[in-house]
Structures are given as structure tokens and as C-alpha cells.
Amino acid sequence: MDLGVALFLLSVGLTTLSLLIGRILSSQRRLPPGPFSFPIFGALFSLQEPLHQHFAKISKKYGPIVFLKIGMVPFVVVTDKEMAAQILKAHDLEFSSRPDEEFFRIVSHDWNDLILAPIGDKWKTMRRICSTHLFNNSTLKASAGFRESEMKHAVKAIFQQSGTTIKLQEVLSNLMSNSLCLVLFSERGVEVVDVIQNIVSLCLNLNIGTLLPALDWLDLHGVYKKLNTELVPRLKLLLEDQIDKHRRRKDEAGDTFVPQDFTDVLISLEDKDKLPNISILALLSDMVMAGLETSLVTLEWTMAELINHPHVMSKAQEEIDSVVGTARTVQESDLPNLPYIEAIVKESLRLHPAAPLGVPHMNPKPVKLGGYTIPGGCKVLVNIWAIGRDPARWSDPEAFQPERFLGSSISPNGQNFDFLPFSSGRRVCVGYPLAMRSIPFFVASLLQAFNWSPANPGGIDMEECTRSITMKLNADLLVNASIRVDQNII
């Protein structure tokens, strides 16, 4: 028999066998519906980017719970408020694990962090520390000066470029990076940020092992080698240096020591809250990895929407002028009196959640969900982007209308399952109180200081970048800015 014919028949046989086995297993376990999975490759070749839009599209055919395989890895994607509530609330504990992947193990410093580590006593301690010592009102209020001083740097940088086309993404990137470094380390331009951005960028590299776990140990693309021999050792060295520097400063100050930044707070913990160096290091790494890119992306989308909606910008500026005036700059303490600014940020988060599919959940054991059986070991994704644009929940869901949040009690804290930019349940982003201070403050400051317009007559291109972990703008944010306040207050 000709070899080509033999291979064709073998392929047909394997596909038929796969279909029969799939139907038998599906009838026994009642898997959620989803696209056909080929042997080995699953539904890989039918995927389209951006994935959150693709999953939203196929959910219209298969329903709010979709099961598919990408390579050999089983996924479940939910695109409905009720199913999200089932995963993040009713079955929160059952779905609170993270995928046990080598990439996650390495970047979590052997599961010593908060975002990726398994739920347990150590994780609960770190979660409590974040809530009670770092992201509480008093600590965030104490760090406001860092954000306000960095905002002044950004405003001066923009003023110096007025009259020219400004690449706003570069200005915003420096603003977010330096303000976060100040909050964490009391320093601007810390190299930790660059190293972590390089680590995150590796997620975009092809890694066959994540799709075919049996081959993962081969590290065919050298991802783990680069992490283990280059990036993570460099990151640890930089963070250990910061921790040691802060401990020396604390020892020198003695009884007069007052924490100035998050690292100071973490090294000052005592008794049951005291953390080993590796946990402090991993927690600081988490804050840069999770906080920088997501906040930056949200700020970019917010400014893009405002520039494309000048009537919204004018209304926001009127609010700022009436509350703050023109004799001083905006301060974080003004934010409670700027409800329209808050509504603008919420609307931007609804339309453009920085992590549209969140961080993957995983259920170690089978779970009954919506009348289906979710097999153990599934990667579970909540389509935050689709939920925020559900026409059954939001009127005119594609429109940028901040007014929908005025007088509304809807919060991004994870309690309302129509609106989940920071997820919910045990795995809710603990840093959302910082984000909901810094982003509205930066937006208000930028609107107070300048009038904004697109550099190109067609407006800001709102197309999404497809090759990105977070939901970035695809095009450069090219703008013009003209000063609208007395230069003496800048």
C-alpha cells in the first residue's frame, strides 16, 4: 500500500476513534458544548485573536459555558454573569487553584507569591497582610505624595512638548512606572520594572510545552532556561538588594523609624505577620507584574476614549474646575468630590478591562456547573470583556457613556458580577484600591492641566493589539496638548 494512502487512512481512523471516544465520554460526563477538537491539536487552528472577542463570538453558538481543547489542554470559558458568579462565588473554593505550570512556578518564585500560589495558610497570611497593611486607607493615603510628585513630573514633560505631536503612551508609561517604584521602593526608575517586563513578554513566545504538556520538560523554545539562568536570578538580586537596603535604613533609624514605602511596611511586620525574605520578594514582584501593565493600559484606554469624546472631556473639566479651581493642582483627597471622573474610569474599565480573560483558574477535581460536568484539571477563564458588554445587562453596551455609573452603587470590587475588571472571590485583585486611587487621580490631573486632541484628524484608532497579554491599544496614542491652567501651578 502506498505510504501516503496509509497515512491518510490512519488519520481518518484516528479522527473517527477520537469522535467516538469523545461522544462516549461526553455522554458519561455531559461536558459543556464547544467546537470540535482534533487529536493532539484540539481547536488550536480555529482560534482567532483577540481571544476574548473570539470566545465571546463562539459563546453565541454554544452558550455561556464553552468547553474546548487547545492542544491537549482542556479549557472552559464562561461569558455570562450567572456562570461567573457560580465560578467566583458559589464554587469559589473549587475553582480557586491556578494551573500547575512550570512557567507559573518559576515566576512565582516556587509558589511563594500571592497571584499564582495555591490557596493555603501561607497564601491566606499574605492576602491578609495586603488587605490590612498595604492596601488600606491609611497606607494608601500616606503614599499619595509619591503619586502627586510624579504627576507633576509628567505634566512638566507634557508642557515641554506642547505644540508638537506627543506620544502619550511614553509619557504615561514613565508616569506609571516611576510612581509605582516610588510607592514600593521610594525610588524612581528601578531596574526591577524592566526585568519583570522582559519576564512577562516571554508569555507571548511560542511554547509548545504549554499546549502539549508531555513535551513541556524538553523546554523546546528555551523559555524556562532563559527564566532560570538569566531573568529570575537578576530579578531576585535586584529585589534582595532593595530589601537589604531598606533593612539597613530601618536599623540605622532605630526607634525613630517610620515606614515610607511598601517595602518598609513589609520588613516591619512582626509576630504572625512576619514574612521571610522570599515571600517579601515574591509579593513585591507580584505588585510590579500585576499592577504596572494593567494600570497603564487602563489609563491609555481612558485617555483615548476621552480624546475621542470631547463632550465627555469638557464635562469632566467643568467638574474639576468647580471642585478644585485653578489656583492649585488636583490632589487625591479631591477624588471623593469628583464623581464624574470616577464614572469615566469605571466606564473605561467596563469597555476595556486590562486583563479581559483574567488569570486562569483551575479546578483540581470535577465540578458540576450549569448542568454540566467540568473535568478536573481544566483551565477556567472568565470572559470579563464579554460580561461587561452583555446587551442583556447594559444598555447600548458598545457606547462610551460614563453617565451610566453616576448615582450607581456598582463598584469594581468584585461584588457585582456584571462588572468584574478586578475579578472576584478569593482571587480578586487585592491591589484594586490602589488602582482606583491612582488612575482617577492621573486622569483628573491630565484633564485639569491640558486640553487634548488627536494628532490625526480621524481621531484615536481604538483597535486592540492582538499580540498582548493585557488589552493594549494597537496604535500609538499620538495627541496634541494645550495648557489650560496657569503655568505657575504646574
Q: CB neighbours of 285 closer than 8 A, spacing ≥ 6? A: 107, 109, 113, 192, 196, 235, 239
Q: CB neighbours of 223 closer than 8 A, spacing ≥ 6? A: 103, 202, 205, 207
- The pLDDT value recorded for residue 17 is 47
**Band (70; pLDDT cuts 50, 70, 90):** very high
- Give dist(CA 425, CA 369) in Å, integer: 17
pLDDT in tens, 309-343: 999 999 999 999 999 998 899 999 999 999 999 99
**Band (489; pLDDT cuts 50, 70, 90):** confident
**Band (3; pLDDT cuts 50, 70, 90):** very low
Read off the C-alpha cell for 253: 533609624
pLDDT in tens, 112-151: 999 999 999 999 999 999 999 999 999 999 999 999 999 9
Q: Is the dihedral of CA 362, 366, 367, 369 positive or negative?
A: positive
In 10 A of CB 327, how many CB atoms?
Answer: 9
Over residues 94-109, the mean pLDDT reads 96
Over residues 379-398, the mean pLDDT reads 97
Instruction: Answer yes or no: is pLDDT of 154 > 60.
Output: yes
**Band (29; pLDDT cuts 50, 70, 90):** low
Read off the C-alpha cell for 284: 513585591
- The pLDDT value recorded for residue 373 is 97
Min mean pLDDT across 294-308, 341-355, 466-480 is at 466-480
- The pLDDT value recorded for residue 327 is 86
67 near 25, Cβ under 8 Å?
no
Architecture of domain 31-489: Orthogonal Bundle (1.10)
63 near 33, Cβ under 8 Å?
yes
Instruction: Please work out, in degrees rounded to the nearest 5, the angle formed at the alpha carbon of residue 303 by the alpha carbons of 297 and 304.
Output: 85
95 near 87, Cβ under 8 Å?
yes
Instruction: Answer yes or no: is pLDDT of 102 > 70.
Output: yes
> What is the DSSP secondary-structure string of 170-195?
HHHHHHHHHHHHHHHHS-SS-THHHH
Percent of the chain at pLDDT > 70 equals 94
Instruction: Please work out, in degrees rounded to the nearest 5, the angle formed at the alpha carbon of residue 175 by the alpha carbons of 158 and 242.
Output: 145
Q: What are the backbone dihedrals phi and psi of residue 175, each rounded to the nearest 5 degrees, phi first? A: -60, -50
**Band (27; pLDDT cuts 50, 70, 90):** very low
- The pLDDT value recorded for residue 285 is 97
Instruction: Answer yes or no: is pLDDT of 6 > 60.
Output: no
**Band (487; pLDDT cuts 50, 70, 90):** confident
Domain boundaries, the chain: 31-489
- The pLDDT value recorded for residue 120 is 94
Instruction: Answer yes or no: is pLDDT of 162 > 90.
Output: no
- Give dist(CA 50, CA 29) in Å, integer: 30
- The pLDDT value recorded for residue 469 is 79
Q: Please tell me the number of Cα atoms within 13 Å of 80 on its side-chain side.
A: 14
Q: What are the backbone dihedrals phi and psi of residue 176, each rounded to the nearest 5 degrees, phi first? A: -70, -40
Read off the C-alpha cell for 53: 472577542
**Band (405; pLDDT cuts 50, 70, 90):** very high
- The pLDDT value recorded for residue 320 is 98
65 near 370, Cβ under 8 Å?
yes
- The pLDDT value recorded for residue 107 is 96
Instruction: Answer yes or no: is pLDDT of 416 > 70.
Output: yes
Instruction: Answer yes or no: is pLDDT of 191 > 90.
Output: yes
Helix (H, G, I), strand (E, B) or coil at 124: helix
Percent of the chain at pLDDT > 90 equals 86
In 10 A of CB 54, how many CB atoms?
Answer: 15
Place of cell 476595556: 352
- The pLDDT value recorded for residue 203 is 83
Mean pLDDT of the chain: 92
- Give dist(CA 411, CA 141) in Å, integer: 20
- The pLDDT value recorded for residue 418 is 95
pTM of the model: 0.92
341 near 74, Cβ under 8 Å?
no
Over residues 38-51, the mean pLDDT reads 93
Instruction: Answer yes or no: is pLDDT of 457 > 80.
Output: yes
Instruction: Answer yes or no: is pLDDT of 305 > 60.
Output: yes
For residue 286, give the H/E element and its range. Answer: helix 277-308
If one compares 152 and 6, the residue with the highest pLDDT of the two is 152
- Give dist(CA 397, CA 418) in Å, integer: 12
- Give dist(CA 439, CA 294) in Å, integer: 11
Instruction: Answer yes or no: is pLDDT of 26 > 70.
Output: no
**Band (430; pLDDT cuts 50, 70, 90):** very high
484 near 449, Cβ under 8 Å?
yes
5 near 172, Cβ under 8 Å?
no
- The pLDDT value recorded for residue 486 is 83
Burial of 204 (C-beta count, 10 Å sphere; 0-12/13-18/19+): exposed
pLDDT in tens, 225-276: 999 999 999 999 999 999 999 999 999 999 999 999 999 999 999 999 999 9
